[in-house]
Amino acid sequence: MLYLFLRGAIVAALLGLASASAIGAPQPGPPPEPRFDRLRALEWAPFAQSFGALSDERAAAIDALLRKATILDVQEAMKPGQGEALTSEQLTLFFLSRIRQHDERLHTYVELNPAALDEAHASDTRRRAGALRGPLDGIPVSVKDNIETAAPMRTTAGAEILLDNVAAKDAPLVAQLRAQGAVILGKANLSEFAGVITFGPMNGGFSAVGGETVNPHGHYPSSGSSSGSAAGVAALLSMVSVGTETSGSLIGPSGWNGVVGMKPSRGLVNGEGVVPLVRYNDSAGPVGRSVRDVAVLLDAIDTATVNYASGLRAEALDGVTVGMLNRDIAASPENTPLLQGVSASLLALGARARPAELALTSDWGNNAMFLTYLSGGIRHDMMSYVAARARAVKTVEDLVAYNAAEPRRRIPSGQDLLAMLAPASAQMSAADYAAFAARLRRAATGILESAFRKTGAKVLVSIGTAHSPLYATAGYPAITVPLGLRVKGGVVEPPGVSSLGMPAGVTFIGKPGDDARLLAYAYAFEQATNLRVQPELR
């Protein structure tokens, strides 16, 4: 009985299923102190001589601007001739100063880019010459540490075994950011190997290299695996961030940290150079404090020629049929007030709400099938990457043994999840894994398509990550928009803490290729509700 109970709790946490509640709770207390240190301290020497260049008055003015500003607003403030125009160097110094002030407690970064100020200076030079490369030129961006960056920054996926792994080149999406003038602030913390080692004491957001990511809104889980991306953006430690999702890994932490996060359609963002977990699901995507910023960042990292920001309209939901996944959302009574608030907002925007259901099939089955799929990804995708870069291991079992040989350093929060998942694919060949992945993708696609077809909906509405395994496996896009803070708290399992005052998010699920339309729907909802809460840090 105890084993089954623990196993069920692990499954629920893996899929991001947590209690949700209503909108508008009072501001909670400060976040707790982290319980685990980084393996490698953030390096401040490259910036030490520069911090004095940013006065307290200038920092306060930048802070006031960023509380509400989008990337496009910041670009306007950096235009020459706008009074005392903001510079990219000042903006970068502002974020670095906040990281120095707050990140020893929040642990949203694994490593800083020692060339960040040089990149900002180069952007300011281009701006003065009238040679800007686009809306991200001079904008500080963080990148999740399972996305490859060229030397001197490392790519660790949060794992001690990759502590000194330096990629030969930038991942294509990082190269695209650099080509457009973005300032790479550093590498964001994450759930180790995208969430398959341990949940840590606060359910996700924990890595051996980066320690435990702390939710800036208070004593709540940060979720995972893109915890550092979401918490860092929420805490004003970066303008925007690039995270990744396998199943809920972007949507979950974005919702729980009170920001916007988007998992694009499969293949829209080049996945080369991303440490794989389940290559058929894995997708990089943007995290920001507004839908507009997410749209601008997606435009910078995708492989399409779409200006997403230009298509954002406050009336985009007027006359649109939305499929409400009411039964699944209301499976927990604490979700009912939240569902009522979302429904009322959609109706006020002119949307036509229709009840929708996701009828599971035998080919999809139950959570155990998805865990087997995840185990196959660990064995055949993740370990292929690790084995090519770490001579000490070749298989999942080797990695478990390697970690166990020096647990205080390599697995300070344990590796029970990895040990539980590994056996499920012990007899699964690479061909078996590929066939199983294709089967699950067809099943997930059929389930979602049936819901869209039966309701005539253009978008499905969910809460949190309740439906992440389906949309992520099918390759459908999804985006979460803040719903404020919860006023009716349940218990988040694990770690068994109250969700009272914790951020919540509504999730919109679109059809493949409808990323621009999905962003427009999310923007319309965001503009009408305006429920994001900025955490106040000491």
Residues serving a catalytic function are 144, 225, 249
* Gap between the Cα atoms of 50 and 454, Å rounded: 60
Nearest 10 degrees: Cα torsion 343, 346, 350, 356? -60
Separation CA 150–CA 249 (nearest Å)? 24
Per the structure block, which two tokens stand in for 291?
Answer: 């839908």
Using CB atoms within 10 Å of the CB of residue 26, give its burial: 0 to 12 exposed, 13 to 18 middle, 19+ buried.
Answer: exposed
Task: Of 260, 283, 252, give the one whose Cα is nearest residue 476.
Answer: 283
End-to-end CA distance of the chain: 44
Cβ-count burial 424-454 (b if 16+ within 10 Å, e if not): bbeebeeeebeebbeebbebbbebbeebbee
C-alpha neighbours within 13 Å on the C-beta side of residue 388:
10
Compute φ and ψ for 301, nearest 5 degrees. -110, -5
Cα separation, 487 vs 138, in Å, equals 39
Three-state SS string over 347-405 comes to HHCCCEEEECCCCCCCCCCCHHHHHHHHHHHHHHHHHHHHHCCCCCCCCHHHHHHHHHH
Burial 255-285 (b: 16+ CB within 10 A, else e): bbbbbbbbbbbbebbbbebbbbbbbbbbbbb
For the CA atoms of 382, 388, 389, 393, what is the dihedral angle to 10 degrees?
70
Helix (H, G, I), strand (E, B) or coil at 186: strand
| CA distances from residue 307 to 75, 300, 358 in whole angstroms, order as listed | 17, 9, 32
Residue 6: partners with Cβ closer than 8 Å, 6 or more residues away:
none
Query: For 87-234, where are the alpha helices, taking DSSP H only?
Result: 88-106, 116-128, 172-179, 227-234
d(CA 335, CA 373): 29
The answer to whether 108 and 125 are in contact (CB under 8 A) is: no
Beta bridge partners of 211: 207
CA–CA separation, 36 and 128 (whole Å): 44
